[in-house]
Each structure stands twice: as C-alpha cells, then as structure tokens.
Amino acid sequence: MKISELRRVKIAVLDDYADVARKVADWDAISGKPEISIFRDHLTDPNALVERLRPFEVVCLMRERTRMDRNLIERLPNLKLIASTGLRNAAIDLEAAAEHGIKVVNTRYESTPTIEFTWAMILGLARKIWIENASLRTGGWQTTVGLDLRGKTLGLLGLGNIGSKVAEIAKAFEMNVLAWSQNLTEDKATEHGAKLVSKEDLFEQSDIISIHVILSEWTRGLVGDSELRLMKPSALLVNISRGPIVDEAALITALREKRIAGAAIDVFEQEPLPQEHAFRKLENVLATPHIAYSSESLLETFYKDTVSNIDAWIRSKN
C-alpha cells in the first residue's frame, strides 16, 4: 500500500455512547492520516447500517454493541479490517470475515471494572439505593428498609475469573458463598472460599444469585422459570454477564408476581433496551445500560490498543 493510498483509508468507530474515543486515545498517531468517523448513536436497522458502513475499510467495534454477522459482512465490499475491543467478540461472524479476507483484531481486557461493578449492583439492590435516590430527588424521604449482607448466602453461577474474585470479596462482608457451574470442581470452589452445590441447591438456598458464566449455546436460557421458582421470595438476582443467559420473559413474570424480591440487571436480550421494556418500569428492578466494564481505565486500554492495532495493520500493508 502506497502512502497516497494510506491517506484514503476510512475508519468508522461505532457506538461511542459516552463520547470517549477521541479523549482517551491519539487517533492522529495512526499512519497515513486516515479519515476517521466516530458515531455515538446505535443503528439497529440492517439497511441503514450497511449504508453507514459501506465506505469504510476499517470498522471499530465496542464489544458486542453492533453485530457483524454474515449478512452485514457480505454487503460491505470495502471492509478489510474489524478492530474489536476485548479479548473476544461473539457478535462477529469470524468464519464469514475469514471467507472475505477481512482481518479481525482484538485488544487487552481487564476484569477489575466488572468485579467492582458486580458489588455496586449487589449493594445497590440490597440497600434499595435507586428507590431512595428517586424518592429524595422528588422531594420525599425514606420509603424502604435495606437488606444486611452479613450472614446471608451469595450464590455464584460461575466461578471463573470474575466469579472467583466476587466470591473472595464476599468474605469481607462475612457472607456464606455457594457456587455451581457445569465443570466446577469441589477443589476449585474451596480454593476461592465457596462451597460447591447442585444447581437446584444454589437457587433454593441463596439470598442473592449473581451470574458469572459466558454466553454460549449451553448457557443460553440457563436461568429459566424452573430456576426462578426455586428461589426464596426474599431472594435477589444479579446479572452483569449476558442477557440471554436468563429467560427474560420468565424473569419479568417472576418480578411482576413478586415471586422474588428484586433483580439488578446490566445486560439484556436486546440492546439498547427498547423504550417500553418492562425493565424500565418495574419497581423491583435496578437496571443499568451495560456499563459493568465501562470504566475510564478499561476504555483507555480498549481505544489505545485499537489505535495500535489499526496502525500495525496499515503499516503491514505498506
């Protein structure tokens, strides 16, 4: 690729909701002075997305916000590089990208923001902070009573990189910790201060269930109506992993019928969440817009790595 051609490389940065891409990374450091377009909005209409992305050789994705499926990839003849943040991105059809000669690159990832956010959600839900904040902002005062964590049982669905750290922090709150996943061993559970139990016992005995498994064909719908019916009426559910792991309709029903006390949810079946969705309205739901990983330090890592990845790709073509 000649220098004159480098100047014509067009880069699209998608779904920069918080307008941080330009602030945390030096995009001007990319070789060849490419044309960079940063989009803060999110397009769901496939045709509109094709029209937006058609001119670009490079598309930068923020995690799984925009799906790069086969249909989209095949309609973008100019696309040569997909620069994704994170170690993996389930929203990219890697086979289709390979077939069309499109390179896919990723960035480093750090789980600390998600671990910290898990506890923000647990504490916020247990102490009903969002309810009291809303009351205060509308001229009211105390309306609820919060839940103590000491002596309560935390059930972890998954005890990997994130779940294991959540378990260790639970000990600081003097909580009992149970854990279950398909391949979890008793030794590993014990190593992280948890007790391995069956899936049924996890849901029956826990005061708070927190989900920490990745989304796969095996985990899709892993928490459904039968699991929710095992939970105590006073129990709480926290999901900061992926929306489809929980049967959304079953959870909404359980919350509406007050079969569980509440849920803290950061991830959804459809994102952004539709305006009329029940999770925006239910009183016993603490919901946030998929921000568990969205900290200053991690976004800086994501975008700086993305700039480096694109620069390396351009230089390799020169």
Please write down the long-range contacts of 267-274, taking CB distance under 8 Å and 24 or more positions apart: 267/239, 267/240, 267/241, 267/242, 267/243, 267/292, 268/243, 269/243, 269/244, 270/243, 271/65, 271/243, 272/42
Q: Do 56 and 126 share a domain, yes or no? A: no
Residue 7: active-site member: no
Active-site annotation holder among 290, 296, 300, 315: 290
6, pLDDT greater than 90: no
Q: Please tell me whether residues 171 and 263 are part of one structural domain.
A: yes
pLDDT at 283 exceeding the cut of 70: yes
Per the structure, the complete domain to which residue 192 belongs is given by 112-287
- Residue 1 — very low, low, confident or very high, per pLDDT cuts 50/70/90? very low
Catalytic entry in 63, 192, 242, 248: 242
Same domain, 128 and 208: yes
At residue 288 the predicted structure's pLDDT band, cuts being 50, 70 and 90, is: very high
Residue 237 has pLDDT above 60, yes or no: yes
Position 4 scores a pLDDT of 46
Shared domain for 258 and 153, answered yes or no, is yes
Looking at the fold, whether 125 and 227 belong to one and the same domain comes out as yes
Total domains in the fold of the chain: 2
Are 133 and 189 members of one domain?
A: yes
Say if residue 165 is in the same domain as residue 231. Answer: yes
Same domain, 55 and 202: no
Strands 208-211 and 236-239: parallel
pLDDT at position 317 is 83
pLDDT digits (tens, 9 = 90+) for 162-203: 999 999 999 999 999 999 999 999 999 999 999 999 999 999
Q: Per-residue pLDDT averaged across 120-125, rounded?
A: 98
pTM here is 0.93
271 catalytically annotated: yes
Q: How far apart are CA 191 and CA 187, in angstroms?
A: 6
Task: Give the mean pLDDT of 26-41.
Answer: 96
The pLDDT value recorded for residue 36 is 97
Q: Six-digit token pair at 166?
A: 């959540």
SS3 25: coil
Q: What integer best gives the mean pLDDT of the chain?
A: 96
Average pLDDT over every residue of 226-243: 98
- pLDDT of residue 5 exceeding 80, the answer is no
The active-site residue, picked from 75, 271, 277, 300, is 271
Same domain flag for 118 and 258: yes
2 confidence band (pLDDT: 50, 70, 90)? low
Q: Which residues contact 223 (CB under 8 A, 6 or more apart)?
A: 157, 209, 211, 237, 239, 245, 246, 247, 251
Split at pLDDT 50, 70, 90, the class of 26 is: very high
Known active-site residue 242 = yes
Does 51 share its domain with 133? no
Residue 260's nearest CA partner among 198, 203, 200 is: 203
**Do 305 and 247 share a structural domain?**
no
> In CATH, what number is assigned to the domain containing residue 142?
3.40.50.720
CB 251, CB 228: distance < 8 Å: yes
Mean of pLDDT values over 60-73: 96
Whole-angstrom distance, CA of residue 283 vs CA of residue 183: 36
60 shares a domain with 132: no
